[in-house]
Amino acid sequence: MPDTAVPPAGASILAIEARGLAKHFGDVRAVDGIDLDVPRGMIFGILGPNGAGKTTLLRMLATLLPPDAGSAKVLGFDLKESPHEVRGSIAMTGQFASLDEDLTGRENLILLARLWGFRGQNAKKRADDLLTAFDLADAASKQVKDYSGGMRRRLDIAASLVVTPGVLFLDEPTTGLDPMARKSVWRMIRSLSEAGVTILLTTQYLEEADQLAARIAVIDHGRKIAEGTSRELKAATGSGFLHLTLVDAARVEDAELMLEEITGNKPQRSSEGAALSLMVDTPQNANRALAALIAANIELADFSMGAPSLDEVFFALTGQITEPKNAEGDV
Amino acid sequence: MDDTNSTISLIHAARPPQPSALSNALVFGWRAVLKFKHIPEQLFDLVMTPIMFTLLFTFVFGGALSGSTGAYLQYFLPGILVQTVVFNSMYSGMGLSTDLGKGLFDRFRSLPIWSLSPFAGLMVGDILRHLIASLLILIIGIILGYRPEAGLIGILEALLLLIVIGFGFGWIFLVLGLVMSTPSTVMTMAFTGIMPLVFASNIMVDPATMPSLLRAFVEVNPVSLMTTAMRGVMAGNITAVQLGAALIAPILLTLILAPLTLWLYRRRK
Ligand SMILES: Nc1ncnc2c1ncn2[C@@H]1O[C@H](COP(=O)(O)OP(=O)(O)O)[C@@H](O)[C@H]1O
Ligand SMILES: [Mg+2]
């Protein structure tokens, strides 16, 4: 990519290289020693529940927050030694829209284009090209405060592309969007990636990480608890999950106790109450679990064996049930 | 953005050369001007209270305080200009607090620009606000019968002094804007702090008529010192001592709070 800031000679093929990054707020270890290697050109996903430290991690990488410990290079530039060069090669779309509500969409983009060094008509042209590409030409002269959530998000991402960044940080790009708007942001992210932009995105949605990211780092309580492709993460959590539905919901607790005793793993109860998912290390364990339930007269309405979903991966890794998929944060 | 070809041409557009710090600062000044264009009602907020004060004091209390409404207006108008500028200097602090709350400053701070250029924009906004409000009040004063003895030169000097005063007081609210979480807290603090300074001053009433304890405060109150200087400038008889006394507060505030503002801004979060 000749049109982005030139990395120092001998820079590695990694877009981001972080070692032991940490940030504490008082007693809260928001980020507690994270290593990260993000190859150039990849969409890399950071997956974690609310409060895991995703935003703090991104803000450090974007030079907005000085790390308490550790170091990182972005496109070969060290965060501490060359923050100005890092800023020249990145763009960040924060979790909360970073736009001027009083100005129009077009004025917001012209403002940024001028700050990047576009002059006069060039700044206007750049703004108009971005508005067209992000399907906002019709709303160009409206004040941003009159934009919908999806429009704001698109403008916010467009604002990160005024100059093509070497690395684009997207902090929860679809949180709070309706499914249509979410799909459209996904398409946008994919086409940016196809055009060669390295993207580091955070998400609370397992489906989103699965859909977009070539590699995923799962973080929780400021630590990286797993990393790999979506497939590797699934494989890392044992041979699979046994899904059971009981005829009699009243016996769910009996079944839970029994299953935990046999397999050593705690079953995950679904919200309806009568369905259980159990991580099983070997098929023999699944057999023994089923046999024990039948012996105890706990009748099954249904059962199946499946490869773990990312939800289950997350459960297996953290021992926590993730938030419901449609739980939406603030816009 | 569904069309990958158009994305590619967008992505591979040339990157412009890095702009100068001055150019960055001017862009933020332009943003301040745009705000006036989009929120014209802001002007109303700027001058509504001082105009009400002017009318109220001149016509209701003026006769009792100075013998005639004309004489009172002549005494009062320079002071109300000081009061207006001191109050209006809170707007950039409120603006800063709003921007910080929205994450807009995160975007600015992640750009490779001169890190203080956003403040240049706040200052441009301040200067415009002070000029617009002062001119409107002067025009109304002149319509009501106010006459600056020093003429146009007096008015120009007065505007300059007002900008210096507003610049000095502005730092208080920039600091508040950086440490307070919401713009409305900044506003409440502003009113609580400024009210006593403005009312226990020589803006409305000659301190000679006040009890001695209050008078002792009024005579050293920076707002009084600035008001005295404003009267002198507009009347064309200001002394160097009066001017110096008026500038103490703005200069001290700038010397102490400007570095504090920058320090707070740089270490934020
Ligand atoms: N500025 C701050 N001051 C104090 N605590 C903070 C601050 N920012 C984040 N935290 C805390 O750090 C932890 C991680 O937060 P964050 O990085 O925002 O997580 P995420 O983006 O994954 O939801 C949370 O416990 C949060 O409360
Ligand atoms: Mg977050």
Q: How far is A299 from chain B (nearest CA, A)?
A: 51
The pLDDT of residue B7: 67
Q: Is the CB of A50 under 6 A from ligand 1?
A: yes
Which sign does the torsion angle of CA B75, B79, B84, B85 carry? Answer: positive
A38 pLDDT tier (thresholds 50, 70, 90) = very high
Q: How far is B175 from chain A (nearest CA, A)?
A: 19
The answer, yes or no, to whether residue B268 has pLDDT greater than 80, is no
- Which atom of ligand 1 lies nearest, measured to the CA of A171? 21
Q: Is the CB of A196 under 6 A from ligand 1?
A: no
Contacts B99 to A, Cβ<8 Å: 100
CB neighbour burial string for A22-34, b if at least 16 within 10 angstroms, e if fewer = bbeeeeebbbbeb
Average pLDDT, chain B: 88
Q: Is the CB of A55 under 6 A from ligand 1?
A: yes
Nearest-angstrom CA–CA distance, B75 and B66: 9
Of B233, B195, B201, nearest to B219 (Cα)? Answer: B201
B4 pLDDT tier (thresholds 50, 70, 90) = low
| Contact yes or no for B194/B86 (Cβ under 8 A) | yes
Residues A231-280: tens digit of each pLDDT: 887 777 666 778 888 888 888 888 888 888 888 888 888 777 788 888 88
The CA-CA-CA angle for residues B41, B43, B48, to 5°, reads 100
The answer, yes or no, to whether residue A322 has pLDDT greater than 80, is no
A98–B103 C-beta distance less than 8 A:
yes
Query: How many A from CA of A209 to the centre of ligand 1?
Result: 21
Q: Is the CB of A152 under 6 A from ligand 1?
A: no
A63: phi then psi, degrees, rounded to nearest 5: 65, 15
Q: What total of structural domains would you count in chain B?
A: 1
Tell whether B43 is covered by a domain.
Answer: yes
Residue nearest to atom 7 of ligand 1 (CA): A25
Neighbours of A249 (CB within 10 A): 12
Instruction: State how far the alpha carbon of A74 is from the alpha carbons of A33, A170, A182, A283, B132, in Å.
Output: 17, 15, 28, 45, 46
Find the CB nearest A118 among B16, B31, B39.
Answer: B16
The pLDDT of residue A196: 85
Find the CB nearest A102 among B4, B17, B38.
Answer: B38
Tell whether B2 is covered by a domain.
Answer: no
Ligand nearest to the backbone CA of A52: 1
Q: Which helix (H) or strand (E) holds B189?
A: helix B183-199
Tell whether B16 is covered by a domain.
Answer: no
Here the tokens at position B48 are: 């509504």
Instruction: State how far the alpha carbon of A210 is from the alpha carbons of A127, A218, A248, A297, B233, in Å.
Output: 32, 12, 34, 39, 71
The pLDDT of residue B228: 95
Tell whether B15 is covered by a domain.
Answer: no
The answer, yes or no, to whether residue A330 has pLDDT greater than 60, is no
Nearest-angstrom CA–CA distance, B102 and B104: 5
Find the CB nearest B110 among A62, A107, A164.
Answer: A62
B102–A99 C-beta distance less than 8 A:
yes
More confident residue, B243 or B68: B243
The pLDDT of residue A27: 92
Could you tell me which chain B residue has the CA closest to the CA of A104? B38
Nearest-angstrom CA–CA distance, A62 and A66: 10
Query: How many A from CA of B134 to the centre of ligand 2?
Result: 45
Residue nearest to atom 20 of ligand 1 (CA): A51
The pLDDT of residue A133: 87
Of B180, B169, B136, nearest to B251 (Cα)? Answer: B169
Tell whether B10 is covered by a domain.
Answer: no
Q: Which domains does chain A carry?
A: 14-231 (3.40.50.300), 238-307 (3.30.70.920)
Ligand nearest to the backbone CA of A223: 1
The pLDDT of residue B41: 84
Residues B58-112: tens digit of each pLDDT: 888 877 777 788 888 998 999 999 999 999 998 888 888 888 887 888 889 888 8
Which of A51-60, A69-78, B53-62, B129-138 has the least mean pLDDT?
B53-62
Query: How many A from CA of A169 to the centre of ligand 1?
Result: 17
Q: How far is B15 from chain A (nearest CA, A)?
A: 6
Contacts A101 to B, Cβ<8 Å: 102
The pLDDT of residue A283: 75
B8 pLDDT tier (thresholds 50, 70, 90) = low
B110–A87 C-beta distance less than 8 A:
yes
A107–B102 C-beta distance less than 8 A:
no
Query: Could you tell me what percentage of chain A is helix, strand and coil, using 3-state DSSP and rounding each to the nearest 5?
Result: 35, 25, 35
Residues A163-222: tens digit of each pLDDT: 989 999 999 999 888 888 888 889 889 988 988 899 999 999 888 998 899 999 999 999
- Which atom of ligand 1 lies nearest, measured to the CA of A52? 22
The pLDDT of residue A3: 42
The answer, yes or no, to whether residue A324 has pLDDT greater than 50, is no
| Contact yes or no for A60/A36 (Cβ under 8 A) | no
Strand partners, A241: A279, A306
Choose which residue among A23, A24, A34, A56 to substitute to test ligand 1 binding: the one with the highest number of ligand atoms within 8 A of its C-beta: A56
What is the mean predicted confidence (pLDDT) over A45-55?
A: 93
What is the mean predicted confidence (pLDDT) over A136-144?
A: 95
Which of A42-56, A57-71, A282-296 has the least mean pLDDT?
A282-296
Here the tokens at position A221 are: 């309580």
**Entry field: residues in chain B:** 269
The answer, yes or no, to whether residue A26 has pLDDT greater than 70, is yes
Find the CB nearest B111 among A5, A59, A115.
Answer: A115
The pLDDT of residue B54: 86
Q: Is the CB of A65 under 6 A from ligand 1?
A: no
Tell whether B233 is covered by a domain.
Answer: yes
The answer, yes or no, to whether residue A326 has pLDDT greater than 80, is no
The pLDDT of residue A269: 83
Contacts B18 to A, Cβ<8 Å: 88, 117
Phi-psi region of A306 (alpha: psi -120 to 50; beta: other; left: phi over 0): beta
Average pLDDT, chain A: 86
The pLDDT of residue B235: 93
Which sign does the torsion angle of CA A173, A176, A181, A186 carry? Answer: positive
The pLDDT of residue A8: 60
What is the mean predicted confidence (pLDDT) over A44-53?
A: 93
Contacts B17 to A, Cβ<8 Å: 117
The answer, yes or no, to whether residue A45 has pLDDT greater than 90, is yes
Find the CB nearest B103 among A96, A129, A191.
Answer: A96
Q: Is the CB of A25 under 6 A from ligand 1?
A: yes
The pLDDT of residue A1: 38
Percent of chain B with pLDDT over 70: 96
Residues B144-188: tens digit of each pLDDT: 989 999 899 999 999 999 999 999 999 999 999 998 878 888 888
Instruction: State how far the alpha carbon of A315 is from the alpha carbons of A47, A95, A119, B223, in Å.
Output: 13, 25, 52, 64
Contacts A161 to B, Cβ<8 Å: 10-11
- Which atom of ligand 1 lies nearest, measured to the CA of A53? 17
Torsion of CA B90, B93, B261, B81, to 10 degrees: -20
B251 pLDDT tier (thresholds 50, 70, 90) = very high
Residues B24-51: tens digit of each pLDDT: 989 998 998 898 889 888 888 888 888 8
Tell whether B9 is covered by a domain.
Answer: no
Residues A74-118: tens digit of each pLDDT: 999 999 999 999 999 999 998 887 899 999 999 999 999 999 999
The number of C-alpha atoms within 13 Å of B98 and in the hemisphere containing its C-beta is 13
| Contact yes or no for B89/B173 (Cβ under 8 A) | yes
Q: Which helix (H) or strand (E) holds A23?
A: strand A14-25
Say what the ipTM of the complex is.
Answer: 0.80
Tell whether B39 is covered by a domain.
Answer: yes
Nearest-angstrom CA–CA distance, A287 and A308: 18
More confident residue, A308 or B212: B212
B112–A85 C-beta distance less than 8 A:
yes
The pLDDT of residue B138: 93
Task: Please give all residues whose CB falls under 5 A of ion ligand 2, grouped by chain where several chains appear.
Answer: A 54-55, 95
Range of the domain at B141: 22-267
